[in-house]
Structure 1
Amino acid sequence: MKIKQVEIFEVNLPLIKPFIISYATYPHIRSIIVKLTTECGVVGWGESVPDEHITGETPESTYAMLKNTLAPAIVGQNPMEFEKIHELMDKTVHRAPAAKAAIDIACYDIAGKKLGVPVYQLLGGRYHEKFPVTHVLSIDEPEKMADEAEEKIKEGYRSFKMKVGLDVAGDVKRIQAVRDRVGDDIAIRVDVNQGWINSANTLQALRKLESLDLDWLEQPVVQDDIDAMVEIKSKTSVPQMIDEGIRDMYDLRQIIAKRAADKINIKLMKCGGIYPAMKLAHMAEMAGIECQIGSMVESSIGSAAGFHVAFSKKIIKSVELTGPVKFTKDIGDLKESYIIPYIQLNEKPGLGLSIDETILAELTQNSEIVE
């Protein structure tokens, strides 16, 4: 079986409300969708959601990279030979993980469909039956974040990921307001997205947050300052998670050696797809570091890929893939699997999705075919 054709679509995914984090506000999500077709007619879908602040890629560069470099390189290759596909992509271009993730995900979708099994069966089989769904609170005024949390509890949510990182004093008020509103039995995770910059600011905040029983604090400092994470971890009882600071195996090797984190946030867009994500999970497991599969606010395609990784590994303890419930329109039907407060995957082959190509056409800004 060989790849015959690669179709590339640049799309704008419409959000219900703007997504606000420490370094950007997103009125919609720009995504690159890839459709691989084999000589025997099997179709696989992949997705890339790049972020210039994290992966070093933009939607424009990713579209061009897929069109001009990666797609031509993989035409004629066997999509089920994952190691060779990644070796070829890595020899063709250095890094560009989000672009490579689109190819990787589509190859796994093809392999699952060809063999008649869900992708998680290709990764060791299903371990988890279901995962709790965490609602993500975008940055806002303290009372508005608390209001949203209270409303989501009524819908069934039992855990929240709070986006903060604008200023330490204001962020402490935001976190305190949500904890006061939801009570002690609701899980709260705090994601700073590098916004507190350094260990001094972070430790100042943590002195005021120690009593709030946070599940963890995520990426408080700039992404490459591993030593700051080491210092913070040594001086607080709040578990520390690294996100932007863990992209690939080389980052994780340093994190393990320095004991810089209690948890890591694996994102397919940061590491290059399903295949390298599994390598990170195995490395973390050997080091006794718990994992999460995180989100770049992907459509059903990228989100489903992340879920298949998460459902297959014991060391993956949480997921934050909430893109499909944040969009007014999506090109896949993964939203049907969100039964709040849980998500449970189906047993259909491949990614297990039905793709609405009419909606895909409606949301597409540019497209290209490579043969």
Structure 2
Amino acid sequence: MKIQQLEIFTIDLPLIEPFIVSYDTYPSMPSIIVKLTTECGLVGWGESVPDDHVTGETIESTYAVLKHKFAPLLIGQNPMNFEAIHDLLDKAVKNVPAAKAAIDIACFDVAGKKLGVPVYQLIGGRYHEKFPVTHVLSIGEPEKMAADAEERVKQGYRSFKMKVGRDVTSDVKRIQAVRKRVGDDIAIRVDVNQGWKNSGATLQALDALKSAQLDWLEQPVVANDIDAMVEIKSKTTVPVMIDEGLCNMRDMREIIAKRAADKVNIKLMKCGGIYPAMKLAAMAEMAGMECQIGSMLESSVGSAAGFHVAFSKKVITSVELTGPLKFSQDIGNLKGSYHIPFIELGTGAGLGVDIDEAILAELTQYSDVVKA
């Protein structure tokens, strides 16, 4: 089996409501979809959601790398040779993990279809039967976030990931308001997205939140300040999760060596796809750290890829892959697998996602084809 053609689509996924994090507000979510076709007519789908604050890539740069660097290299390659494909991409361009993720995901999708098995069967088999779905609360005024949380509890959600990171004082009020509204039996995870900057501000916030019963605190400080994470972890009983500070195996080595986190958030867009994510999970398991599979708000394609990794690994104990629930239009049908408060992944070949190419065409802003 050889790759004959790659099509690249830049799309804009419409959000039901704006997604607000510490460093930006997204009225919609830009994404790049890759359609890989083999000489035997099989099709694999991949996705890239770059983030200049996290992966160091933009939509424009990612599109250019995929079109001019990666696609020409891949023509004639066997998409089932995952190690060789990644080696080829790594030698062509340093870093650019979100661009590599699109290729990686498409290769796994088409490999699964060739063999007639789900992707998780290619990477260890199915371990988890279902995962709880955590609702992500965008940054807003305290009462608005609390009201949203209360409504979601009525819908069946039992856990929340709160986006904060504007300033310690207002963030503490947000967290306290949500806790007061939902009661003590609902899990609250706080994601600061680097917004508290340093260990001093973070420890001040944690001191004010002693009664909030947080499940864990995610990436409170700037991504490259691993030593600050070490200090915070040593001075709090709240489990600490690292996200933006973990992109690759080099980062993971430092995190393990310094015991800088209790949990790690693995995202396919940060590490380069399914294959590198499995390597990071294995390293975390060796070090006794639990893993989460997170997302950059991908469509059904990227979200399904993340779920296949999560469902295959014992060390992955939580997921935060809610993109399909937040879009008013999606190119795939993964939304049907969410049965709040759980997601139950299907058994279809490859990613198990059906693509609506009419919606893809409607959402496409520009596209290109590279073929043999």
TM > 0.5 fold call: yes
Aligned pairs, number = 371
Offset at 1:209?
A: 1.1
CA contact (8 A) 1:210 1:237 kept: no
- Please give the secondary structure, in 1, of the residue aligned with 2:35: strand
- Please give the secondary structure, in 1, of the residue aligned with 2:28: strand
Offset at 1:117?
A: 0.3
CA–CA separation in structure 2 for the residues paired with 1:368 and 1:66: 10
**Partner deviation per Cα, 1:194-221 (whole Å, 9 max, x = no partner):** 0000000000000011221111000000
Alignment map for 1:251-330 (pairs within 5 Å)? 251-330=251-330
Amino acid at match of 2:76: G
**Partner deviation per Cα, 1:324-360 (whole Å, 9 max, x = no partner):** 0000000000000000000001100000011000000
Instruction: Give 1:109's aligned residue.
Output: 109
CA–CA separation in structure 2 for the residues paired with 1:97 and 1:315: 23
Amino acid at match of 1:99: A
**Partner deviation per Cα, 1:82-111 (whole Å, 9 max, x = no partner):** 000000000000000000000000000001
CA–CA separation in structure 2 for the residues paired with 1:50 and 1:329: 20
Instruction: Give 1:161's aligned residue.
Output: 161
CA–CA separation in structure 2 for the residues paired with 1:272 and 1:172: 34
CA–CA separation in structure 1 for the residues paired with 2:41 and 2:267: 30
Alignment map for 1:1-371 (pairs within 5 Å)? 1-371=1-371
CA–CA separation in structure 2 for the residues paired with 1:121 and 1:187: 31
- Please give the secondary structure, in 2, of the residue aligned with 1:117: coil
Offset at 1:285?
A: 0.1
CA contact (8 A) 1:135 1:160 kept: yes
Offset at 1:151?
A: 0.5
- Please give the secondary structure, in 2, of the residue aligned with 1:4: strand
CA–CA separation in structure 2 for the residues paired with 1:42 and 1:210: 54
Listed as ranges, the gaps of 5+ residues in structure 2 are: none
CA–CA separation in structure 2 for the residues paired with 1:231 and 1:347: 44
- Please give the secondary structure, in 1, of the residue aligned with 2:211: helix
CA–CA separation in structure 1 for the residues paired with 2:210 and 2:47: 39
- Please give the secondary structure, in 1, of the residue aligned with 2:210: helix
CA–CA separation in structure 2 for the residues paired with 1:48 and 1:332: 15
CA–CA separation in structure 2 for the residues paired with 1:300 and 1:286: 31
Offset at 1:53?
A: 0.4
**Partner deviation per Cα, 1:34-63 (whole Å, 9 max, x = no partner):** 000000001000000000000000000001
CA–CA separation in structure 2 for the residues paired with 1:295 and 1:140: 20
Amino acid at match of 2:20: I
CA–CA separation in structure 1 for the residues paired with 2:156 and 2:266: 26
Amino acid at match of 2:251: D
CA–CA separation in structure 2 for the residues paired with 1:275 and 1:137: 30
- Please give the secondary structure, in 2, of the residue aligned with 1:211: coil
CA–CA separation in structure 2 for the residues paired with 1:42 and 1:142: 49
Amino acid at match of 2:269: M
**Partner deviation per Cα, 1:202-260 (whole Å, 9 max, x = no partner):** 00000011221111000000000000000000000000000000000000000000000
- Please give the secondary structure, in 2, of the residue aligned with 1:269: helix
CA–CA separation in structure 1 for the residues paired with 2:245 and 2:41: 40
Amino acid at match of 1:329: Q
CA–CA separation in structure 2 for the residues paired with 1:215 and 1:312: 24
Amino acid at match of 1:152: R
Offset at 1:370?
A: 0.4
CA–CA separation in structure 2 for the residues paired with 1:289 and 1:75: 39
- Please give the secondary structure, in 2, of the residue aligned with 1:351: coil
CA contact (8 A) 1:265 1:292 kept: yes
CA contact (8 A) 1:266 1:280 kept: yes
TM-score, scaled relative to structure 2 = 0.99
**Partner deviation per Cα, 1:105-147 (whole Å, 9 max, x = no partner):** 0000001000000000001000000000000000000000000
Offset at 1:319?
A: 0.2
- Please give the secondary structure, in 2, of the residue aligned with 1:184: coil
CA contact (8 A) 1:210 1:238 kept: no
- Percentage identity across paired residues of the two chains: 77
- Please give the secondary structure, in 2, of the residue aligned with 1:212: coil
CA–CA separation in structure 1 for the residues paired with 2:289 and 2:177: 30
Provide runs of 4+ in structure 1 moved above 6 Å.
none
CA–CA separation in structure 1 for the residues paired with 2:37 and 2:94: 25
- Please give the secondary structure, in 1, of the residue aligned with 2:110: helix
CA–CA separation in structure 1 for the residues paired with 2:288 and 2:238: 17
CA–CA separation in structure 2 for the residues paired with 1:354 and 1:210: 46
TM-score, scaled relative to structure 1 = 1.00
